Amino acid sequence: MYSDPSGHFSLPNWAKWVIGGVAFVGAVALTYFTGGALAPMFIQMGASIVLGGLVQGTANAIRGESFWKGFADGAANGALTGGVLAFGQSVFRVVKVGNYASKGLTIGKKGTYEIVGEMTGTAHYGGLKSHGFLTKLFGKNFADKVGWVQNKSIVQGVMKFKGVIYDCGGELTGAYAKEIVLTKGYQYFVNIWLL
């Protein structure tokens, strides 16, 4: 009954901006309230808008049409896509961090927290999956900083959900040392060796 047989219906650019903006505000709120990092989300949204505009503007210019009209259309498409994708990623993050919080999160030195987590049925994360790739591209220091942003985001998220954090110990170096500082005074922090 409500169909578009000719395929000519299109959302106006203002509607794309509104939908993308509302979705992005929702994504920012979800990320903020679960302890996530906001800077990457803003960078991703900005890149989506600018790249969308440049691609569509260039395509228009190649066809002999207005670059700026194409840029405006592409930027609106980028805003819609970027906002919706950011919201989807935020929902996924909330579910993931909520799962960590409901099981309890085990932290400690690499090689120990994985074993303890599996033995106790608590959650543990395996670190930044793209660490090796980022190390090759930008160096170990950069990859370590990105990895810490991820670790910090997960720990802060679990703390926002008031999940238990289990410390299985180890030498206070690297990300683990930073996690200990981050969780100092947290009421649901448990050292498993003292149990």
Q: What are phi and psi of 118, to 5 degrees?
A: -70, -40
pLDDT of 97 higher than 80: yes
pLDDT of 50 higher than 80: yes
Distance CA(113)–CA(123), nearest Å, equals 9
Q: What is the pLDDT of residue 9?
A: 66
> How many Å from the N-terminal Cα to the C-terminal Cα in the chain?
66
pTM comes to 0.75
CA 42 from centre of chain: 11
Residues 182, 105 contacting (CB under 8 angstroms): no
Give pLDDT tens digits for 107-126. Answer: 988 888 888 888 888 988 87
